[in-house]
Structure 1
Amino acid sequence: MDIGVVLPSGIPGVDGRVVVEWARRADAGPFSSVAVPDRLRYDNLDLMMTLAAAAAVTRRVRIMSNVLLTPLRPSPWLAKQVGTLTALAPDRVTLGVGVGARRQDYETAGVPWQRRGALLDEQLAALTSRPAHDDEQLVGPAPRGAVEILIGGASQRALDRLVAHGDGYVAGGIRPEFFSAEAAASVAAWRRAGRSGRPRLVAGGWFSSSEDLDDDASRWLASYFRQGGPPGFVNSGICRGTAGVTEQIRRFRAAGADEVILFPCTADLAELDWLAELVSGLADMPVGEPAFPAAGPPFDPHAVVPGTAGVRVYGAAEGPPADSR
């Protein structure tokens, strides 16, 4: 059963040596992937540099971005970074990519918010069609081995990206029923396009060993969401304790997830050790077929995020029309 873990690079003030140790222990443990989320205007470590550090100290787990906001990066630098990462971890790189939902990141990077979707489309086309070369005067290195590409989101533009360039769909931080609906849309688009098999489907959500809602995990998530995030009525929130984490994994698997990625709310290594012990003791859970719900919950921008002491996310559903994404 594939269960990955996010490195604690998004915890403000985290010691980089602790992040590297998380990667080492995850590689020695029961996990399938180590992943890193992407933000610019926040006190987090850089995604690509963190993945490079993880690649250097691991041998088995996949190295995953979840998700990389490629439009924030100049395309030549992005190609060079991806090539470098594959040189460090050949055949172990998974690029989860998306446009994100925070305007502040684009303002800080000086990238037009309205161009984010078009930029991602251009970059994916370049990355997936880039030929190998031996000309040392060109931007390199060329990617070594296969690079898995997962597409974040299920808007029509995202589905078009999936069938044109992707190997699967990735979602982070949304409830299993919403994951199931977006995964079902991805599978349907895949089949309409005549692609063989099924796209790989990856889900994710936050976890905590603590069952106390009024704890540091809640306070950190409130800080992390201060500039936006999935609104409370779709948010997976924090699954808590052995029973809560086990149930969340079961629900994601039943909703069609081939892999479940768990996001920590602390950089404490004891939290990783706790999760590793829990995951090691889990029996394999069957993967269900994703399906559209008969009816979704009503839109509620003030809904409380599950597993927290009253954390709310405002305005996350606002933005320009989907065709600009």
Structure 2
Amino acid sequence: MHIGLGLPIADPRALPDWARRADSGPFSTLGLLDRLVYHNPEPLVTLALLAGITSRIKLQTEVLLAPLREPVLLAKQAATLDRLCGGRLVLGLGVGGRADDHEASGTDIRTRGRRLDHHIDLMRRLWAGEPYSATCGPIGPTPTSPVGPELLFGGYWLAALRRVARYGGGFLAAVAPDSAEPQFDTVRGLWRDHGRPGQPRIVAQVNVALGPEPVIDDARANISAYYRFLGNADLITSGLLTTPQHIRSTITQFHALGVDEVMLYCFGRDPDQADRIADIIG
């Protein structure tokens, strides 16, 4: 099972340091969140920078809110980044649940699911080299694979889980291991129902903070601020993993559930956490 590192969003200037440490360590993937009405860095721009200073680690959006974006330009941006990083891009996609994000982008939150499906269908056609229309040619560059970057889908509702099977991607699950099995079973069942070979790729995301108390306090404060709109930020903060033993046991639980990769997401800004976490998983 692979272990990825989710990047903190509170200090964008520190992210190159995090990326270099992760690329030289045991991590499989760098992950980055997406929001519009927030102070996080834009993920595709940021991952393009990190692609230039890393050589092997995958670069993953967790999740990119595709309905907020125009699909043709998004297809071009994703294909460009995929080519520049040698096929290391993993495009995690979601619909976005904040009304203010949709207000700022001028999109209707009520149609976000349909917009995402339309975006994926169109992007897949463009990535395959098809013309945009009868009067408009192809949109390059082509990505490293004709089906485009690897896709992951995040979300909790059945429509999100169905996209995994419909588009042949993977499932990005922000869920604790003791409550994850029903979701995983549903995704795998839908996969079989769609006649997909093998198994869907399942990626679990958990929040971690490893270090002295100020590092943990910083992580809790940033988690609380980020998830305040949900109304249950305290519940999410309470799930923060703060000891080597808890992190290892959670990884072991996910391994038993057949998870392919666990993303250890850091909200605390101290980049020494990358080294501390590497020591306990290496």
- Give the TM-score, by structure 2 length: 0.89
Q: 5 Å matches for 1:237-316?
A: 237-280=239-282
Name the SS of the counterpart of 1:34 in structure 2.
strand
Cα shift at 1:267 = 2.0
Q: CA RMSD in A?
A: 2.4
Q: Which runs of 5+ in 1 are unaligned?
A: 281-325
- Does residue 1:189 correspond to 2:190, yes or no? yes
Equivalence for 1:313: none
CA deviations on 1:233-291 (whole Å, 9 max, x unpaired) are 688821111111112212222233110001112221111111111111xxxxxxxxxxx
Q: 5 Å matches for 1:62-211?
A: 62-130=58-126, 131-132=128-129, 138-145=138-145, 147-172=149-174, 174-210=175-211
Q: Which runs of 5+ in 2 are unaligned?
A: none
Q: 1:50 to 1:2 in 2, by over 3 A?
A: same
Residue type matched to 1:246 in 2?
R
Residues of 1 paired with 2:20 and 2:53: CA distance?
6
Cα shift at 1:149 = 0.7
Name the SS of the counterpart of 1:141 in structure 2.
coil
Cα shift at 1:140 = 2.2
Name the SS of the counterpart of 2:241 in structure 1.
strand
Equivalence for 1:5: 5
Q: Which has the higher helix share?
A: 2
Residues of 1 paired with 2:212 and 2:112: CA distance?
39
Match of 1:45 among 36, 41, 44: 41
Name the SS of the counterpart of 1:116 in structure 2.
helix
CA deviations on 1:120-151 (whole Å, 9 max, x unpaired) are 00011122233237999743222123521111
Q: 1:232 to 1:199 in 2, by over 3 A?
A: farther
CA deviations on 1:37-81 (whole Å, 9 max, x unpaired) are 111111110011111111111111111111111001111111111
Cα shift at 1:178 = 3.0
Contact 1:154 1:185 in 2 (8 A): no
Equivalence for 2:225: 223
Residue type matched to 1:143 in 2?
P
Contact 1:180 1:256 in 2 (8 A): no
Residue type matched to 1:251 in 2?
Q
Residues of 2 paired with 1:15 and 1:199: CA distance?
32
Identity of aligned residues (%): 35
- Give the TM-score, by structure 1 length: 0.78
Q: 5 Å matches for 1:15-26?
A: 15-16=12-13, 18-26=14-22
Residues of 1 paired with 2:186 and 2:69: CA distance?
29
